[in-house]
Chain A
Amino acid sequence: MDRSGTETDHELIVKAVAGDVAAFGRLVARYQQDAVRIAAVALGTASDADDVVQDSFVKVHRALSGFDLTVPFRPWLYRVVVNTARTRQRSSSRRNNLRLRFASSSGRSEAVADGPDDIAVHLDQRRQLVDALNQLSPDDRLILTYRWYEQLSEAEIAEALDCPAGTVKSRLSRAMQRLRTEVEQTKMSEQ
Chain B
Amino acid sequence: MSNLEQNFVAVIDNLDLPDVDLVDDVLDQIAATNARAGNSPDNSRRADRRRRMLVAVAATAALVMALTLTVTPVGEAVANWFGIGATAFDVDDRHDGGAADTAPPPTEADGDSTPGSNQSDPVPPPPSLSEDALGDPVEPMPAVTAVASLGPPDAVFDHAGRGRSFLWRDVDGSPVVLSARRTESVLSTKTLAAADQVEFLSIRTEPDEQPPMPAVWISEPHELNVAVDGMNLELAFSAGPVLIWIDNDVELRLEGVADKGRALALAAETTRGTQLLAAE
Chain A interfacial positions (CB closer than 8 Å to B): 10, 13-14, 17-19, 21, 24-25, 28-29, 32-33, 36-37, 40-41, 46, 49-50, 53-54, 57-59, 61-71, 76, 79-80, 83-84, 100-104, 106-111, 122, 125-126, 129-130, 133, 144-145, 148-149, 162, 176, 179-180, 183
Contacts and interface: CB of A to CB of B under 8 A. Distances in A.
B65 A58 contact: no
Nearest to A130: B11
A161 to B, nearest CB: 10
B58 A107 contact: no
Looking at chain B's contact residues, is the secondary structure mostly helix, strand, loop, or mixed? helix
Contact of A148 (B5, B17, B47): B5
B61 interface: yes
A162 to B, nearest CB: 5
Interface in B9-57: 9-23, 25-27, 29-31, 33, 47, 51, 54-55, 57
Interface of B: 3-23, 25-27, 29-31, 33, 47, 51, 54-55, 57-59, 61-62, 64-65, 200, 202, 207-214, 246-249
A10 B11 CA distance: 31
A28 B30 CA distance: 12
A90 to B, nearest CB: 14
Contact of A149 (B9, B55, B62, B64): B9
A49 B18 contact: yes
11 contacts: A17-B55, A18-B54, A28-B27, A29-B21, A54-B25, A58-B33, A65-B246, A68-B202, A70-B64, A101-B15, A102-B14
Contacts of A109: 9-10, 13-14
B246 A149 contact: no
Contact of B211 (A53, A67, A110): A67
Contact of A63 (B20, B61, B65, B248): B248
Contact of A107 (B7, B14, B248): B14
Contacts of B248: 62-63, 65-66
From A17, A37, A46, A176, residue with most partner B Cβ within 10 Å: A17
B26 A58 contact: yes
Nearest to B5: A148
A148 B9 contact: yes
Contact of A46 (B18, B202, B212): B18
B246 A66 contact: yes
Contacts of B22: 28, 32, 50, 53-54, 57
A36 B65 contact: no
A126 B10 contact: yes
Contact of B20 (A36, A125, A162): A36
Contact of A68 (B15, B214, B247): B214
A73 B33 CA distance: 23
A26 to B, nearest CB: 8
A-B CB proximity, top 10 nearest: A107-B13, A69-B61, A107-B14, A17-B58, A18-B55, A109-B13, A14-B58, A68-B212, A101-B16, A19-B51
Contacts of A107: 10, 13-14
A40 B30 CA distance: 23
From A67, A68, A108, A126, residue with most partner B Cβ within 10 Å: A68
Contacts of B23: 25, 28-29, 32
Given A17-B58, A54-B26, A58-B29, A103 B17 contact: yes
From B23, B31, B207, residue with most partner A Cβ within 10 Å: B23
A66 B13 contact: no
